[in-house]
A and B are shown apart, each in its own frame.
Chain A
Amino acid sequence: MKKIFFFILSISLFILIFSQEKPILTFLGEDTPDSIVKNFTIDASDIPNDGGGGIELKWDSPEILKDWFISIIRIDEDGKRVLLTTDIPILSKQVRDVNSEEEPDRVIDSKGYNYWGILSKKFITEELLQILLDTFDFKEGLYSFNDDTFFVLSKTQMVYSKASWFNFLRLAVLISLIIISLTFLYYLNLAKKGKDLYIRKINGLDAVEEAVGRSTEMGKPIMYILGIGYVTDIPTIAGLTILGRVAKKVAEYETKILVPSYDPVVMTTAQEVVKEAFTEAGRPDLYNKNDIMYITQDQFGYAAGVDGMMMREKPGAIFLQGLFFAESLILAETGHSIGAIQISGTTETAQLPFFVAACDYTLIGEEMMAASVYLQKEPMMLGSIAAEDFLKVIIMSILVLGFLLSFLGSGLKIEFFKNLFDILYQALQV
């Protein structure tokens, strides 16, 4: 009885397992009812002007296929298959095969690759994807899988990736760089020959001595705030150069300077700058490393820390020179409330109105960059400012020319000027 029972059970299990329908991948033929699908091709090419390791795939997107999806599989010259993308809308028109250096399946230079495109009206299943990546014998044509159809496109030509030795997209930048460098060299040469170069008066910088002197007379320290930039930011570098000049004055007046810092690298650099300035002024004994201290790398934590320090130490002069964001007014208004003379400067145009409203003097953008030149007034440094002014004239001339050509071309519809404007526009494209 037991034997009969086990026999029936085994037979039932066998029937149950083998009666389940297995998905069948069927080749329906090379022809497709839709000639647009048949003629759909992918164009693969190396990405120009890059460092290698990148291939670009493009295709035209006929309106009739707007609801279709495309999946792409890459097969290298050794036959290794990698899924590039799955089920992206045909309308996207392009995809780039670029990966990071850490990715083992990235495109390697000088290795040949073919790409197979799979067009489908529905998302392709994991099961089908696995078959396509493992065992599928790629051949152009129409297929069915689980009652869904998809179309395998003809493979692309073998394509190789290669690195470029020059990025032609940056040609305009290179030409600008050459013009700018030559202008700077010309004016530096003029300065070297002893030509008298002019720099206009900057009230904020003339007030540095007054601010340091006033603070000394009041017996109060000076506070120098470099903002929340890093040492890689140009405004922070400009702030550090101004700090050197201010610290020298501080040493000459034998007073104290406090530099609360947001970033440890900026703090270390500021310590060295102040130390050097005190040494130059002949008072290295007055230098105290602990006056240039780290606060925190949290924006509002920094603002709170510096505000607290202002309220406790009551500095007579506050310099806000560097990169500032939303904390600018919190700092400047607190400084104003304690009656300190404040000289600010930043390149962040959104913060300039706050500084103008709350500080006694504000260095607007380029004035901050020119500050070290102004405070030092060395002929060679003045030469660089003259070069900047000359370049400004060139840029303004191009702006006026662009306006006139646009007015005559697009405004008065004169074709000649419109063409000229287009040429100018193309030339300035980066």
Chain B
Amino acid sequence: MLKGKGIPVFITFIVGTIMIFSFFIPHKPFGDLEKISLNWYSIIAGFTMLLGVDSLIGMHYRKITRRTGNWGYSIVLIAGFTGTVVIGIIETIRLGTAFNEASYFTYIYNYFIVPLQSTMFSLLAFFIASAAYRAFRARNFDATLLLITAIIVMLGRVPLGEQISPNLPKFTEWIMQVPQMAAKRGIGLGISLGALGVSIRILLGIERSYLS
């Protein structure tokens, strides 16, 4: 008799097996199962967004009421959140869609969100420099090898490399296409088999740590 964790494990096994069959059987009703289940997932995910918003607003509301450290930022977040939602609703009523080029909602997206995203992304350049500095320090043989390879690849990708030797870009391409690709594919094979292992363990109920 199924009880406790046995019930979700049994459901997982049945659903997982049906999904595997549906991969090989295009005929109805099997052929449409993947699409249907993805639709179900989208509907459930839509509702969980409410949980996400509840979590976000709840956390910042508590920060404000308890006056915990940096609570001023929480006011900015809640004001920004509420303002965007209100403007989105007003513009939808006014223009039929909030995504109209003339709407203030689009203005917020173009002139607040996009520059903020770009700022975060551009930080990556500085982080790459600091991480590369640490990674390329020639502390041992492996790190030295990495340093030399990195210098060759970097030089091979800029016009200066071509000036030093016309063979440098070709050598760079060989490094990227042969040793680099071999390592990448090796890791890729391991990942695919690992994913397969996780799937089979979940399907057979051996792996249960994802269950509450």
Pair B194/A370 contact, Cβ less than 8 Å: yes
**Of residues 375 to 402 in A, which have CB atoms within 8 Å of B's CB atoms?**
376, 378, 380-381, 384-385, 387-388, 391-392, 395
Most chain B CB within a 10 A radius of its CB, from A173, A174, A333, A370: A333
Check if A364 is an interface residue, CB within 8 A of chain B.
Answer: yes
Tell whether A166 pairs with B24 under 8 Å between CB atoms, given A294-B55, A392-B189.
yes
* Per-position 1/0 for A168-182, Cβ under 8 A of B: 001001100100110
Check if A221 is an interface residue, CB within 8 A of chain B.
Answer: no
Bound Cα distance A166, B31 (Å): 10
Bound Cα distance A356, B130 (Å): 13
- Closest A residue to B118 by CB, please name it: A300
Pair B196/A388 contact, Cβ less than 8 Å: yes
Pair B206/A237 contact, Cβ less than 8 Å: no
Bound Cα distance A387, B188 (Å): 17
- Closest B residue to A168 by CB, please name it: B24
Check if B210 is an interface residue, CB within 8 A of chain A.
Answer: yes
Bound Cα distance A299, B186 (Å): 29
Contacts of A188 in B (CB 8 A): 204, 206
Check if A51 is an interface residue, CB within 8 A of chain B.
Answer: yes
Q: Among the listed A163, A232, A327, A395, which residue makes an inter-chain contact with B28, where contact means beta carbons less than 8 Å apart?
A: A163
Contacts of B45 in A (CB 8 A): 230, 263-265
* Per-position 1/0 for A74-118, Cβ under 8 A of B: 000000000000000000000000000000000000000000000
**14 pairs from A and B in contact (CB 8 Å cutoff):** A163-B31, A164-B26, A180-B196, A296-B56, A301-B113, A303-B120, A333-B130, A369-B194, A370-B197, A378-B206, A380-B206, A381-B207, A388-B196, A391-B196
* Per-position 1/0 for B122-162, Cβ under 8 A of A: 01100110111011000000000000000000000000000
Q: Among the listed A269, A293, A303, which residue makes an inter-chain contact with B55, where contact means beta carbons less than 8 Å apart?
A: A293
Most chain A CB within a 10 A radius of its CB, from B44, B128, B190: B190
Check if B174 is an interface residue, CB within 8 A of chain A.
Answer: no
How far apart are A337's CB and chain B's nearest CB, in angstroms?
9
Check if A220 is an interface residue, CB within 8 A of chain B.
Answer: no
How far apart are B166's CB and chain A's nearest CB, in angstroms?
28
Bound Cα distance A234, B131 (Å): 28
Bound Cα distance A184, B59 (Å): 45
Pair A330/B201 contact, Cβ less than 8 Å: no
Q: Which residues of A contact B (CB under 8 A)?
A: 49-52, 163-167, 170, 173-174, 177, 180-181, 184, 188, 230, 232, 234, 237-238, 240-241, 244-245, 261, 263-265, 267-269, 272-273, 275-276, 290, 293-301, 303-304, 308, 312, 326-327, 329-330, 332-333, 347, 349, 352-354, 356-358, 364-366, 368-370, 372-373, 376, 378, 380-381, 384-385, 387-388, 391-392, 395
Pair A237/B120 contact, Cβ less than 8 Å: no
Check if B52 is an interface residue, CB within 8 A of chain A.
Answer: yes
How far apart are A364's CB and chain B's nearest CB, in angstroms?
6
Tell whether A329 pairs with B210 under 8 Å between CB atoms, given A174-B24, A232-B41, A349-B187.
no
Contacts of B32 in A (CB 8 A): 51
How far apart are B2's CB and chain A's nearest CB, in angstroms?
19
Bound Cα distance A300, B113 (Å): 10
Bound Cα distance A320, B69 (Å): 25
How far apart are A236's CB and chain B's nearest CB, in angstroms?
10
Pair B198/A357 contact, Cβ less than 8 Å: no
Q: Among the listed A297, A358, A369, which residue makes an inter-chain contact with B131, where contact means beta carbons less than 8 Å apart?
A: A358
* Per-position 1/0 for B28-72, Cβ under 8 A of A: 100110000000010011001111110110110010000001100
- Closest B residue to A276 by CB, please name it: B212
Pair A333/B197 contact, Cβ less than 8 Å: no
Pair A265/B44 contact, Cβ less than 8 Å: yes
Among all A-B residue pairs, the 7 with the closest Cβ atoms: A369-B194, A264-B52, A272-B212, A51-B31, A366-B190, A300-B120, A294-B52
Check if B193 is an interface residue, CB within 8 A of chain A.
Answer: yes
Q: Among the listed B55, B70, B135, B212, which residue makes an inter-chain contact with A273, where contact means beta carbons less than 8 Å apart?
A: B212
Check if B20 is an interface residue, CB within 8 A of chain A.
Answer: yes
Pair B124/A329 contact, Cβ less than 8 Å: yes
Check if B176 is an interface residue, CB within 8 A of chain A.
Answer: no
Pair A304/B48 contact, Cβ less than 8 Å: no
Contacts of A380 in B (CB 8 A): 206
Bound Cα distance A422, B62 (Å): 67
- Closest A residue to B131 by CB, please name it: A357
Bound Cα distance A381, B202 (Å): 10
Contacts of B70 in A (CB 8 A): 312
Pair B191/A365 contact, Cβ less than 8 Å: yes
Most chain A CB within a 10 A radius of its CB, from B50, B51, B195, B209: B209
Pair B26/A163 contact, Cβ less than 8 Å: yes
Contacts of A368 in B (CB 8 A): 194
- Closest A residue to B121 by CB, please name it: A300
Check if B3 is an interface residue, CB within 8 A of chain A.
Answer: no
Contacts of A329 in B (CB 8 A): 124, 127-128, 131
Pair A237/B28 contact, Cβ less than 8 Å: no
Contacts of B197 in A (CB 8 A): 184, 369-370, 384-385, 387-388
Pair A333/B59 contact, Cβ less than 8 Å: no
Pair B59/A269 contact, Cβ less than 8 Å: no
Bound Cα distance A209, B173 (Å): 42
Pair B23/A170 contact, Cβ less than 8 Å: yes
Pair B189/A166 contact, Cβ less than 8 Å: no
- Closest B residue to A313 by CB, please name it: B69
Bound Cα distance A290, B55 (Å): 7
Check if B25 is an interface residue, CB within 8 A of chain A.
Answer: yes
